[in-house]
Structure 1
Amino acid sequence: MATSCVHMMGSLALSISCLIIINAIAAAGEQRRLLQAETVYDITKYGAKGDGTTDDAMSFIQAWRAGCDSKGGVRILIPPGKFMMGEVILSGECTATPPMIVDIQGTLLANPDPSSYSNEKWILIEHVDNIKITGGGTLNAQGANAWKYAKEDAHMPVSFTFQSSKNGDISNLNLLDAMGFHSKLIDSDNIKVTKMTITAPEESPNTDGIHLSNATNVEITDTVIGTGDDCISIGTGSKNVLIKNVKCGPGHGLAVGSLGKRPDEISVGNITFSSCSLAGTTNGARIKSYHKSPVMTATNIVFEDITLDNVKNPIIIDQHYFSKMVAEQSNVKISDVHFRRIKGTTISEIPILFNCSTTNPCENIELADIDLKPVGAAKSVESVCVSAIGIKPSGTVNPPPPKC
């Protein structure tokens, strides 16, 4: 067929077009073959009751195991209904034809007793490459009764953890009222997260929306997050991260950090927050680190095209985060940070604050086209700086850039 096309068309360009069409037809045929070969593993076929009270965790695990260990295309299905589940661990290595699909259409209800989770995780997917998790369903952790137990040294279970895996596609899910963090991406590479809705009350403690730790090549897009803590937090070892079209509020904003709390933490870099909006949050664009941290860097960080509505701390670098009782300064070297086209309203009279380490000053901070207007009790605005070197303003910067 390709040869006849070449003779008929008589030109290289049209010949290439023919080959493209032929390849597209072949690819479509292969896709149909895979779809036809897909096997659905419905958790109700493995005993799940879906009555909202029976623990259906084992049914989910059994359906997963059967699918993971199969040879063809796989869809693990949680159909419409309410499925109460305690701890769920879904592990690879899988022999199924990639990508495996976890199709969550119904509502998962967590066992509300935080002491029933042995590893501080509710739903854990680990050592699974090439997986798609979607379906429009809800993970409701029923966290309200657990929040009173949340402390700095008493972590509550994370609703959804994606760990030690590659090539993950997570989309179109609703995460509600986590006991602890709503989701974590840990020790993983090449992850796409899109069209998520994450919701918890403003007063819920430590309920970060999405947290990254040693995660690389990550895209988080078109997502709505409102929680009692950071909407998105970027932790140790995370690199090549794009956050785009995220709506945040309530919550503590978009954060790189906190960094340097533990001695084994490593550098972060190449992180971009773009085209995001924040409403009623305590912070906007934030970088934070602890005192007495390991020697590490946080570099090439971009916050651009950010819209703010009644945000307390729109632009802030805080290298004294929860560190008043520790004399030694932060060893996190923050450099090449770019705040571009950030506009909106603030309830603070100091909407731009660079409070950097006195032993490792921040370096090369860009402020470009910033316009922050006071509202409410804030009658005027100014910028404040401690231990920063090389602040580079451009365009209109309101309030004017600080002098260090």
Structure 2
Amino acid sequence: MAGIFAILLLFLGSSTPGRARTLYGLDHGPSNFDVVRFGAVGNGKRDDSKAFLKAWESVCQSTKPPTMTIPAGKTFLLNPTTFRGPCKSPAINIQVSGNILAPSSISSWGNDQEHWIHFKCVDGLSIQGSGTIDGQGHAWWPIKSAQETHALSFDVCTNLKLRDLHIVNSQQRHIAIHNSNTVYIKGLHINSPEDSPNSDGIHIQSSQHVNVENSFIATGDDCISIGDGTYDVNASKITCGPGHGISVGSLGKDGSRSTAEMIHVKDSFFIGTKNGARIKTWQGGSGFARNIIFENLIFTDVENPIIIDQYYCPNKGCKNQVNVSALISNLP
């Protein structure tokens, strides 16, 4: 028996250490980074921001395609946090199985009240999972602020994938895509009360090659808003409502030049929304909104199923303006 035991020890010792540790549950491998292993508690009360950033630092330095795991059965309180790249691996995965909670007090945000969970300059990022991301926006909604606040935002990201996420009660916009290229969004559930102001479901700005499909979006503002500098945006199989519909714009605010091109919205449902498919531009602006297709849309209890508004004025009392210099420059 002793000889057999010695042979077994010799066999284990001669095998690959990492493989043996993984087989016996002693290790999750060098490419799996569970935030709990970096000090996150997940009781919904203690701030886990530093632990998330420590985990992200290891993720970003990994040369193998890493996975950052937010485990099920826990609720992680996260103060405003930016996850910065560039990272070493061309592909990074974040598995959101647990819940993520924003601070309930606005004072916890400090000076920067624009971003809650912010990814910047990260390529090849995939985020998915059945956990809930809760912005606790109730304290924000009574405040009339000109600043745009985003629950989940992405700046300068390429090859971004978001799948099967549940995002609720954003402070204002639930998801913001800025200056990004090649974005694929599928299976999202976004939900905020009908009276929550400026709570766009997905806002796309200065980005190209963006696809959104098979998602349910209920908010107090646009289900999807497509802003300036966008090119090649496709939205299909969207269930929108309540909310203000799917909007191109607003474009040309304060006399600016804005562009939106190759926008395709199809095979979608609008239920109890203020608008369905909309294009909106401010007076006095310039630029273009072109190659826009609204196709096979079904409207139920919608106030304005399709609307093109070239005199957009949400606060009323706007002066009717014409951009004379833009008109002259377009003369033959």
Please report the TM-score for the alignment, with normalisation by the length of structure 1. Answer: 0.70
The runs of 5 or more residues in structure 1 that have no matched partner are 1-35, 334-358, 361-404
The count of residues paired between Structure 1 and Structure 2 equals 295
Q: Shift of residue 175 of structure 1?
A: 0.6
1:312 aligns with 2:303: yes
Three-state SS of the structure 2 residue aligned to 1:147 is: coil
Give the structure 1 partner of residue 87 of structure 2: 94
Give the structure 2 partner of residue 365 of structure 1: none
- Percent of aligned pairs with the same amino acid: 33
Match of 2:159 among 159, 163, 167: 167
Please report the TM-score for the alignment, with normalisation by the length of structure 2. Answer: 0.85
Match of 2:293 among 302, 308, 312: 302
Are 1:320 and 1:330, in contact at CA under 8 Å, matched by a contact in 2? no
1:177 aligns with 2:166: no
- Flag the 1:263–1:58 CA change in 2: closer, same or farther, 3 A: farther
Are 1:289 and 1:330, in contact at CA under 8 Å, matched by a contact in 2? no
Give the structure 1 partner of residue 279 of structure 2: 287
Q: Structure 1 CA distance, aligned partners of 2:177 and 2:140? A: 22
Q: Deviations over 1:174-200 (max 9, x none)?
A: 010001100100000000000000000
Give the structure 2 partner of residue 46 of structure 1: 38
Are 2:135 and 2:169, in contact at CA under 8 Å, matched by a contact in 1? yes
Give the structure 2 partner of residue 103 of structure 1: 95
Q: Structure 1 CA distance, aligned partners of 2:131 and 2:32? A: 17
Give the structure 2 partner of residue 266 of structure 1: 258
Q: Structure 1 CA distance, aligned partners of 2:49 and 2:266? A: 38
Q: Structure 1 CA distance, aligned partners of 2:291 and 2:107? A: 40
1:329 aligns with 2:322: yes
- Name the amino acid aligned to 1:94: C
Q: Deviations over 1:205-226 (max 9, x none)?
A: 0000000000100000000000
1:145 aligns with 2:139: yes
Are 1:237 and 1:265, in contact at CA under 8 Å, matched by a contact in 2? no
Three-state SS of the structure 2 residue aligned to 1:201 is: coil
- Flag the 1:68–1:303 CA change in 2: closer, same or farther, 3 A: same
Give the structure 2 partner of residue 224 of structure 1: 216
Q: Deviations over 1:133-165 (max 9, x none)?
A: 1112111001112101133x243x311001101
- Name the amino acid aligned to 1:68: C
Q: Shift of residue 119 of structure 1?
A: 4.5
Match runs of 1:121-140 below 5 Å: 121-140=115-134
Give the structure 2 partner of residue 83 of structure 1: 76
Q: Hey, which of these two has a bigger chunk of strand by percent?
A: 1
Q: Shift of residue 172 of structure 1?
A: 0.7
Segments of 4+ moved more than 4 angstroms: 262-265
- Flag the 1:122–1:144 CA change in 2: closer, same or farther, 3 A: same
Match of 2:242 among 238, 244, 250: 250
Q: Structure 2 CA distance, aligned partners of 1:262 and 1:115? A: 31
The runs of 5 or more residues in structure 2 that have no matched partner are 1-27
- Flag the 1:116–1:265 CA change in 2: closer, same or farther, 3 A: farther
Structure with the bigger RCO (C-alpha within 8 Å, sep 6+) is 2
CA RMSD of aligned residues (A): 1.9
Q: Structure 1 CA distance, aligned partners of 2:298 and 2:86? A: 43
